[in-house]
Copies of this chain bind each other. A is one copy, B any other.
Amino acid sequence: MYGRYTQDLGTFAKDEAARLRLQEGDTPRPHRPSELLEYTQGRCGPCRVCALQCQRFLISKVGEDWVFLILLGLVMALVSWAMDFAIATCLQAQKWMYGGLDTNVLLQYMAWVTYPTVLITFSAGFTQILAPQAVGSGIPEMKTILRGVVLKEYLTFKTFVAKVIGLTCALGSGMPLGKEGPFVHIASMCAALLSRFLSLFGGFYENEARNIEMLAAACAVGVGCCFAAPIGGVLFSIEVTSTFFAVRNYWRGFFAATFSAFIFRVLAVWNKDEETITALFKTRFRLDFPFDLQELPAFAVIGIASGFGGALFVYLNRKIVQFMRRQKTINRFLMKKRLLFPALVTLIISTLTFPPGFGQFMAGQLTQKDTLVTLFDNQTWAKQGVSDEFEYLGILEAWHHPRANVFVTLVVFILMKFWMSALATTIPVPCGAFMPVFVIGAAFGRLVGESMAAWFPDGIHTDSNIYRIVPGGYAVVGAAALSGAVTHTVSTAVIVFELTGQISHILPVMIAVILANAVAQSLQPSLYDSIIRIKKLPYLPELGWGHHEKYNVRVEDIMVRDIRYVTLNCKYRDLQQVLHGTKMKNLPLVESAESMILLGSIERSQVGALLSSQLSPQRRLLTLRQKVLSEDGHRLSDSSIRFQISTETSSGTPARPALRKPLKPALKRRVPSSPPDSPPAGSTDHTGIALKSLFCANATTDPTEAHGTPYHKAKRVRISIVEEMILGDKMTPAEILEWEEQQLDQLVDFSSAKIDPAPFQLVEHTSLHKTHTIFSLLGLDHAFVTSIGRLVGMVSLKELRKAIEGSLTGKGVKVRPPLASFRDSTASTTEADTTALQQLWDRHQHHHMPREAGPGGDDDDNTPK
């Protein structure tokens, strides 16, 4: 198993190791001793020796993980702090402009609206020009990358710059956007760049497996230094990006995230912003009696409502994106003027939040940070009886409207911010949705808390002591619940504790978060999974929680039985037929059609290469030359040498740049590291008639092929020029066709092809559950099903996805999303009956044939409520 990757990697690593050893053994060593000799003669010889040893020692240390993690933490803390500073300055500038123009409302409005529009437009334009990959959250992409898929250009320096600057501008505009998701992406890019930089000191960072581990740690650092929440950061990044998690990565994450959070907060202290290291949004709730047991139902209500709200948010966000895509006319117009959509959205949102206008009903003048600080406030805003009217001081004043209740302000705030956030996160700038959702959740919690406080002015507790209700605590619970519902995580609870610096509300928070998750997971995918589906990134859905049916579906029920294969003793014509007949990227290689013993798998591109080599003009040339040679001696020998050289260089050059890109995994390296004797995959146009039809048919379907194209094209052109010089048109098309037909009837020589000697195998009886586990653990995208060495079928990601997502599996059972069981606990009596019936019916049928299609079975994309 893993043969394909490992063999390549193996070869590569060996070459690389040999190269490094040679370099180390030959190039610097003779250099250094000579240097040493030179100086040992002089006075400061020992000094030099010592310095050199130190240098060597330091370089050897650079390879250590902890050095890398500390550097990563340090860099990210600095980036985070600098960005926070820049964002704060931007927001201050807007406030200052707005405040300075208080003589004229129109001017004020102009300033209030223009400033964010310009910033967002700049951000969108800048990102679009420099690196369109920087748009959006980045968590979906990181999840895909950590699954082992290569996304081009997602971890480059250009994207890093675009993301940092774009994000700073976007957040500086005061729009309801977050920085958490982008920070995960920024930290990952930082890790990738850092490992590339450190690999200048040695080859330690060349390894793919290690780089993936470092990326996982980097995700934790991203969240950790964004919120100064190391524990929550690690957990959140695990939940959001992984299906299976190696506990050893957990260490790395903790180490780096703690260091990063520490530096991030120390910078604030050094900058005199804070007196000492404390939480970002520190709360001061009562410690001795944080909440009453009888308040728990209210917290549960917050949780359930947040679950529905979270699902609605995801749904709304997706619908907006889909609407924008579907409306061709709008779309075409907006596409032409790419910056119009961001500008328009910003205009609408900032107009509505204009403080002297509608903004007065929704605390429009507060920044996101101020909003959170006020919502987590320790006091009760609602009227407590008649006598004590609450004094709104400082920034709290924003929530106070002379003619409206605080409840009205809160409700308006929640409703407006809800759609604004869902809309704003679709703008093509680097932005996340966590923070806006967090704020909305806090406001909702506050609303419930204030209502409770108004309902029970003296608290619920009937004993001697009066413990008033703390609405701030409700706000904390609401924030955790809603953000948990949108992202489908429970670690938002931990983030909330770390953000507020208080853990006294642990049980209400946990209860609300779990309930919110239960509801949201049964209605919608998480925001990140939703984006993954919208962007059509490869993914494997999660297995459901709680349904035992999934344990009864087996591989034999979902596998594809009718697969094309290559036999060891086949002819080139068979290869051609197989390539014509299937679109599979990997073809099984069996001993013979009778025994069907699986020997390995061979890539489609390799089969293509075998074919093209067989039908290649070079071979034809060779045949021709031999014929000619036998006719008239050594006439062509010098040109054949020329040809030889030209292929050598063309296949030799691309090997160099690959060394400078340690993060590109095996898939990308394969092209340069292929042995130089293997012929090019594509061949000249005027030859290979049989082949031409083949490649025309496949050009659009096979990404690996398309991938290698620029290199192949260059080679192809060069070869054809050389060849043209030599041959001209010595053979007529009819002759060529005849020659090719003749060639196709030869037996295939597999010696030059790269064969994966141990493709992943499953047995017919492997359960869907186990198959899913193995696929997600090992990041497979296909596996062959064998029975005592005999190939009987194949399962790919597609079949698995179909089986899991409920489009009816072989046994008529649908498997549902996590926690789905919570949803239909009221209406599933009939379902149980039909399942039993179907099972009875299936008893007579199964074991023999897989059934692909069947009566509907909803997928989990259904609408909420």
Which A positions have Cβ atoms within 8 angstroms of B? 1-3, 6-7, 9-11, 13, 17-18, 21, 24-25, 53, 56-57, 60-61, 63-66, 204, 207, 209-210, 230-231, 235, 238-239, 242-248, 250-252, 254-255, 258, 261-262, 265-266, 269, 275-279, 282, 284, 287-293, 461, 463, 490, 493-494, 497-498, 501-504, 506-507, 510-511, 514, 517, 542-543, 545-548, 551-552, 554, 591, 597-600, 755, 757-758, 760-763, 765-767, 769-770, 773-774, 777-778, 786-789, 818-819, 821-822, 825, 828-829, 832, 836, 839-840, 843
Contact = CB atoms under 8 A, between A and B. Distances in A.
5 contacts: A63-B546, A64-B825, A246-B773, A261-B507, A277-B293
Given A61-B825, A209-B551, A275-B289, 15 more contacts: A2-B766, A6-B766, A13-B767, A53-B829, A60-B829, A66-B821, A207-B548, A209-B770, A210-B548, A244-B246, A261-B507, A262-B507, A276-B292, A600-B789, A758-B761
Contacts of A266: 293
Contact of A763 (B3, B207, B209, B245): B3
A510 B554 contact: no
Contact of A276 (B291, B490, B762): B291
B761 A60 contact: no
Contacts of A552: 13, 17
A545 B1 contact: no
A59 to B, nearest CB: 9
Contacts of A275: 289, 463
A440 B463 CA distance: 39
A269 B10 CA distance: 62
Contacts of A252: 545
Given A65-B546, A287-B284, A598-B789, A293 B278 contact: no
Given A245-B244, A766-B2, A757 B787 contact: yes
Contact of A209 (B598, B767, B789): B767
A141 B56 CA distance: 45
Nearest to A65: B546
A783 to B, nearest CB: 9
- 5 smallest beta-carbon distances between A and B, as pairs: A10-B765, A65-B546, A599-B789, A757-B788, A204-B548
Contact of A545 (B65, B277, B461, B597): B65
A548 B63 contact: yes
Contact of A2 (B246, B497, B770): B770
A840 B25 contact: yes
Contact of A64 (B3, B60, B511, B546): B546
Contacts of A243: 246-248
Contacts of A758: 761-763, 786-787
Contacts of A258: 507, 510-511, 514
A255 B292 CA distance: 22
Contacts of A762: 1-2, 758
Most B Cβ at <10 Å: residue of A64, A248, A506, A552: A506
A247 B244 contact: yes
A65 B773 CA distance: 18
Contact of A65 (B279, B284, B761, B821): B821
A497 B490 contact: no
A757 B777 contact: no
Nearest to A829: B57
A276 B473 CA distance: 15
Contacts of A821: 64-66
A494 B231 contact: yes
Contacts of A503: 279, 497-498, 501-503
Contacts of A819: 66, 251
A6 B60 contact: no
Contact of A760 (B1, B290, B787): B1
Contacts of A278: 288-290, 504
Contact of A247 (B18, B57, B245, B547): B245
Contacts of A777: 244, 777-778
A836 B59 CA distance: 14
A251 B504 contact: no
A837 to B, nearest CB: 11
B829 A56 contact: yes
A277 B1 contact: no
A571 to B, nearest CB: 20
Given A254-B490, A552-B13, A289 B276 contact: yes
Contact of A840 (B21, B289, B293, B510): B21
A185 B774 CA distance: 28
Nearest to A13: B552
Contacts of A778: 774, 777
Nearest to A54: B829
A773 B289 CA distance: 47
Nearest to A253: B490
B1 A761 contact: yes
Contacts of A25: 840
A362 B543 CA distance: 55
Contacts of A287: 282, 284, 287, 501-502
A9 B10 CA distance: 36
A783 B18 CA distance: 29
Most B Cβ at <10 Å: residue of A2, A17, A204: A2
B248 A543 contact: yes
Nearest to A283: B287
Contact of A597 (B10, B60, B204, B591): B591
Contacts of A2: 762-763, 766, 770, 774
